[in-house]
Structures are given as C-alpha cells and as structure tokens.
Amino acid sequence: MEKLLIISNEKIHNDGENFYCDNIDLKSTPEGLSKSFLTEIVARKSKIFRSFRINFKVINIKIYSNIFSYLSKVIKTSQKKNIRILIISITPYTFLASVILFLLRRKHYVYLRSDGHEEYKKIFGMIGPSIYGFMFFICSKISKLISCSERILRGKKGNVIYPSQLSKIWRNNPIKIATQEPKLLYVGRVRKEKGIFSIAEILKNDPGVNLSIVGADKSTKSLFNQKNIKVHQIEDNEEKLIKIYDDHNIFLLPSFTEGYPMVLLEALSRLRPVIIFKEIAYVADKKNGVFICDRNLISLKEKINYILRNYTDIQKQIEKNKLPTKEKFILDLSKILSSNG
C-alpha cells in the first residue's frame, strides 16, 4: 500500500489518548483515504479541546506547536520513498510547506476547499486578497491543484471533484415537519465570515423567527443572548445530526463566502429548503430548493413565507437533485492522488 502525507493548517488537540479536530473534513477525508493509503497527518497543535475524534488507529497523526517543528516534520516525512503528498488549503504554514517541497523536488497536490481571496478579505480587509493571491499564484506554479469548483481555480489548471459527507443513511426516510412557524437551522462554525453574527442581529427585530445554531464551542456559545436563538455545541454523531435537520423546516446558510458547503447538501438530502444570501449565490449551482435573498429582515421574511406556503411542492423539486456522496468523493480523490499525471 502506498504512503500518503496530508499537510494541514488545522489545529488538532490530543488529550493523551485521542486526537480531536473542529473540521469534519480533517476527520472524514483522511479516514476515507486510509483505505487506499498508509496515511499520516501533519498539523498544528491545539491546547483547546476540539469536537471530532479522529481515528488514530488507521492514521498516524503528528502535531506541532511551532512552525519550525512543523516544517521539519514535513521535510523529514517527504523524504520517504513512494509517498504521495496532499496539502489541504493555502495558508502561511501550508504555503511554506509547498515551497519547501518544490525546492526538494517533491511532487505534491494542493486541495482548495474554498476561495481564500474572499476569506482573506473578510479577515484582513483590502490587503487580504493580495496576501492570498500571492500565495495562490506561487502554489499554482509549483504544485498540482485540486478544487471543489472551477470558480476557486480562477482559470488555473486543476482537477475538480465534489466533496460530500453524505453516507447512504442521509437519504433514508426524511421526516415530515409542521410548517406553520419558521424553525431555522444553521450548522457550522461560529465565525465572523460565516455571517452568523449578521443574521443574529437581523433576527433581533423579529422574535417570531426561531433559529438554532449547531456548531458552537465553549468560547462562542455565550456570544448569543436572544430568546429566539438557541445555541448548541458541534454534533459529531451522524444519526443525531440528521435528527436535528429533521426537527427544523428551513436551513439557513448566512455565510459571506463559501467554497462548496457540505451542510447545504446535508439539508437538501433531508428535503429541507435552504436560504442563502446574494454574496454566495454561486453555491446554489442549479440545485432545486435553494433560495437567494438580500441580507435584511424584509427579504428574509418574504423568502421564509414563500417557502412555508409552498413547502410540499418545493420538497418534490428537491427530490430531483442528484447529490454527491462521500464514497464517490473519496474514490475520485484517491484516483487523482494515485495518478502519475
């Protein structure tokens, strides 16, 4: 079996026995790839407890608290024979890793899950896209790109695959729900660029619209103090997460920027209509059941009322969607990593 080195900027926590991360991709993707490769992860060390437990029995996990030990491990591991190398996302840490691998003449892939130009703008302001653009330009020259969208590649050559967390049980028997009152759901990380604080501010003006947030940690759970907003921690149990979707009638994705949001696929698989805002209209991608509105209460309420009035017909349209599966995603990614192209 071939070896695979995954280099990530994500932080992983080790409690002495188990390893935990906050991004479900960093759990499911290496675990899936471990069926085809002897997989090792190099990532950053976190002192804070994270939510998703990684199966370290099938993955060798190495975490480091500073950039020097991190890059030293990248150099050492990359020297192994017959090893494939996958960098996840472009950040200062992974950018330096890519440059070092190039100088060592080691072929490697960079997997882009979102558009860093937009994310850096939200985080760093006007200078953000220039910072990311420089790193992106260099990486596009010295590595092979993989992305979830042609849009994210911005004209650069690369493989496009469609990530998914959907196993077979996601399409099994979606539960019917009452539609007299809006029960909105958001599943994701509580961050500024995800737009969740923006939507909380909007909903202050209408206590009749209830929103559940699933994805908070101890540091962010106390940031919301509204009667119509309930905040829950990240749910890592698949069956419990499905029940959460089934207990709500509309999924809300308020992000300012997105790459290929897998929560949108999860909602549609449970026949739950999705509302997004104009900033990320591109993620609708001709999928039935995705509605676009302006980022204000009037437009949001209009869209909610339309969905609730036409709920059954909308669900029939959602059933026509052909959604990607986790099994297909892992298979496609494995083929790319195994290729000699």
Q: What is the DSSP string of 229-279?
A: EEEEE----HHHHHHHHHT-SEEEE--S--SS-HHHHHHHHTT--EEEEGG
User: 141 and 194 in one domain?
Assistant: no
pLDDT at position 185, please? Answer: 97
Q: Please give the Cα distance from 241 to 104 (Å, whole number).
A: 44
pLDDT at position 236, please? Answer: 82
User: 138 and 42 in one domain?
Assistant: yes
Range of the domain at 42: 2-164+326-338
pLDDT at position 144, please? Answer: 97
On whether the CB atoms of residues 119 and 42 are closer than 8 A, the answer is no
pTM to 2 decimals? 0.87
User: 150 and 210 in one domain?
Assistant: no
pLDDT at position 226, please? Answer: 87
User: 291 and 155 in one domain?
Assistant: no
pLDDT at position 48, please? Answer: 85
One-character DSSP codes across 132-175? HHHHHHHHHHHSEEEES-HHHHTT--EEE-------GGGGS-PP
Q: Which amino acid is at 336?
A: I
Domain with residue 109: its CATH number is 3.40.50
pLDDT at position 220, please? Answer: 72
- Alpha-carbon distances of 336 from 9, 30, 64, rounded to whole Å: 22, 15, 28
pLDDT at position 341, please? Answer: 62
Q: Give the position of tokens 């100088």.
A: 103
pLDDT at position 245, please? Answer: 96
User: 213 and 132 in one domain?
Assistant: no
User: 72 and 39 in one domain?
Assistant: yes
pLDDT at position 43, please? Answer: 97
User: 8 and 119 in one domain?
Assistant: yes
Q: Please give the Cα distance from 50 to 216 (Å, whole number).
A: 11
User: 127 and 47 in one domain?
Assistant: yes
User: 220 and 155 in one domain?
Assistant: no
Residue stretches of the chain with pLDDT short of 50: none
pLDDT at position 114, please? Answer: 87
Q: How far is CA 279 from the centre of its chain?
A: 17
User: 311 and 190 in one domain?
Assistant: yes
